[in-house]
Amino acid sequence: MQTRKAIKRAISSNSTPIVPKAAPKVAKAKKIKKELKIEIVKPQAPPETSSTLVKPKLQVVKTEHLPSQEAPDNWETLYRNIQEMRSKADAPVDTMGCTELYSGQATPVEKRFQILISLLMSSQTKDEINAGAMKRLNEHFKSFNAEKAANADTALLSSLITPVGFHKTKSKNIVKVGEICRDQYSSDIPDTIEDLVKLPGIGPKMGYLALSCAWGKNEGIGVDVHVHRICQRLRFTKKPKNPEATRNQLESWLPKEKWQEINKLLVGFGQQICSAKSPNCTNCLNDPICPKDFSGEKISPKK
């Protein structure tokens, strides 16, 4: 007779070991978790890019390729009232705009170049500061021109145009514009909007103003922050996303004979009456009929 221990050994030797079925799943789960963890901790490296991102220029869209827009109600009355309020022509833009800043010694070619440079410096800069910068450039270089700009030292230019906004960047652009105008346009400036906006620091607003003020061409409206803001308040435009949208909407209905005058008209109006933060509505002839579309603005109208 087999002893109890012998029977137990026999059963143990003849039996198939029982392996828990859950074990592989647990091991697999741990493996997946580990793999997922590795993917999260070590993401794919982003592509190398330049440390300075260059914001693309707004694309110039010809008005004839856009759908027409009906002229707003009573726009002529609103426009005539603004003309009356601006009849004295005593706003900063009237005495310190781009057409007032060229040297008395400038040749026609130099005059056009100086108008372009004053426009280039005008963004994010008050007229008084821009006028002072142009005066210093003309005095130092004895009438600034493309040749002198191309050969100028950027540090010197930067010191001369300070405190113009972004003066360091603009001084570099002035040199580049001088080189392009000297080498490609016989020291003159381009006479088409397509070529003007290719110049460093020149966008559609400056390009159309250069065509108008330097070449006498009436090909588009120069829309700056004043024109953009006021046109929306008067509902001359319908919620434009940017100044180029404002230009396209305006040009679709405003008579072309007013395209050249509207920039200076509305800029001066914005400087004296319809300012950005505190519009003087009580002293505005349009107060009774103005739509006063201040949507999206934070303002405190004067009482």
CATH code of the domain in which 232 resides? 1.10.1670.10
Query: What distance in Å separates the CA atoms of residue 222 and residue 242, rounded to the nearest whole number?
Result: 13
Query: What distance in Å separates the CA atoms of residue 285 and residue 271, rounded to the nearest whole number?
Result: 16
Domain interval for residue 196: 101-219
Does residue 211 share a domain with residue 226? no
pLDDT surpassing 50 at residue 20: no
Does residue 232 share a domain with residue 159? no
| Res 40: pLDDT | 36
| Res 150: pLDDT | 99
Query: What distance in Å separates the CA atoms of residue 244 and residue 149, rounded to the nearest whole number?
Result: 29
Q: What is the C-alpha radius of gyration for the chain, rounded to an integer number of angstroms? A: 34
Does residue 299 share a domain with residue 252? yes
Does residue 78 share a domain with residue 153? no
pLDDT surpassing 80 at residue 17: no
| Res 120: pLDDT | 99
Is there a contact between 176 and 200 (Cβ–Cβ < 8 Å)?
yes
Residue 135 Cα distances to 101, 129, 154, 227, 241, angstroms:
7, 10, 17, 26, 35
Tokens of 216: 């006498």
Please indicate, yes or no, if residue 5 is contained in any of the structural domains: no
Query: What distance in Å separates the CA atoms of residue 8 and residue 294, rounded to the nearest whole number?
Result: 95
Does residue 215 share a domain with residue 254? no
The answer to whether the peptide bond before residue 243 is cis (omega within 30 degrees of 0) is: no
Helix (H) or strand (E) holding 194: helix 193-196
Q: Name which residue leads in pLDDT, 269 or 38.
A: 269
Please indicate, yes or no, if residue 276 is contained in any of the structural domains: yes
Is there a contact between 204 and 220 (Cβ–Cβ < 8 Å)?
yes
Please indicate, yes or no, if residue 277 is contained in any of the structural domains: yes
Query: Using one digit for the tens of pLDDT, what is the confidence trace for 282-298?
Result: 999 999 999 999 988 87
Describe the crossing of helices 243-251 and 204-215 by its angle, rounded to 10 degrees.
50
Does residue 278 share a domain with residue 239? yes
Q: Would you give the DSSP letter of residue 225?
A: H
Give me the chain's average pLDDT, please: 86
Q: Name which residue leads in pLDDT, 53 or 285.
A: 285
| Res 15: pLDDT | 46
Does residue 105 share a domain with residue 78? no
Is there a contact between 110 and 189 (Cβ–Cβ < 8 Å)?
no
Burial class (CB in 10 A: 0-12, 13-18, 19+), 168: middle
Query: Using one digit for the tens of pLDDT, what is the confidence trace for 110-162?
Result: 999 999 999 999 999 999 999 999 999 999 999 999 999 999 999 999 999 99
Please indicate, yes or no, if residue 93 is contained in any of the structural domains: no
Indicate which residue of 111, 170, 205, 264 is catalytic: 205
- Residue 248: helix, strand or coil by DSSP? helix
Determine the average pLDDT of the residues in 61-86.
85
pLDDT surpassing 80 at residue 27: no
Q: Using pLDDT thresholds of 50, 70 and 90, give the confidence band for residue 234.
A: very high
* Single residue among 219, 242, 260 that ends a domain in this structure: 219
Q: Where are the alpha helices (DSSP H) in 62-166?
A: 75-85, 92-96, 108-122, 127-141, 146-150, 154-161
Does residue 201 share a domain with residue 246? no
- Residue 249: helix, strand or coil by DSSP? helix
Tokens of 174: 């002035």
Does residue 195 share a domain with residue 107? yes
Please indicate, yes or no, if residue 18 is contained in any of the structural domains: no
Query: Using one digit for the tens of pLDDT, what is the confidence trace for 171-203?
Result: 999 999 999 999 999 999 999 999 999 999 999
| Res 59: pLDDT | 59
Please indicate, yes or no, if residue 142 is contained in any of the structural domains: yes
Taking the CA atoms of 132, 133, 137 and 138 in sequence, report the sign of the dihedral they define: negative
Query: What distance in Å separates the CA atoms of residue 110 and residue 107, rounded to the nearest whole number?
Result: 5
Does residue 200 share a domain with residue 278? no
| Res 296: pLDDT | 81
Determine the average pLDDT of the residues in 252-256.
98
| Res 48: pLDDT | 34
Please indicate, yes or no, if residue 172 is contained in any of the structural domains: yes
- Residue 284: helix, strand or coil by DSSP? coil
Q: What's the CATH number where 177 sits? A: 1.10.340.30
Please indicate, yes or no, if residue 240 is contained in any of the structural domains: yes
Does residue 273 share a domain with residue 179? no
Tokens of 10: 């026999």
Determine the average pLDDT of the residues in 235-243.
95
* Single residue among 200, 219, 238 that ends a domain in this structure: 219
| Res 58: pLDDT | 56
Does residue 255 share a domain with residue 231? yes
Residue 205 annotated among the catalytic residues of the structure = yes
- In the chain, the percentage of residues whose pLDDT exceeds 90 is 74
* Single residue among 185, 203, 219 that ends a domain in this structure: 219
Q: Which of 72, 96, 70, 68 is nearest to 286 (CA)?
A: 72
Helix (H) or strand (E) holding 34: helix 22-41
What's the total number of domains in the chain? Answer: 2
| Res 55: pLDDT | 44
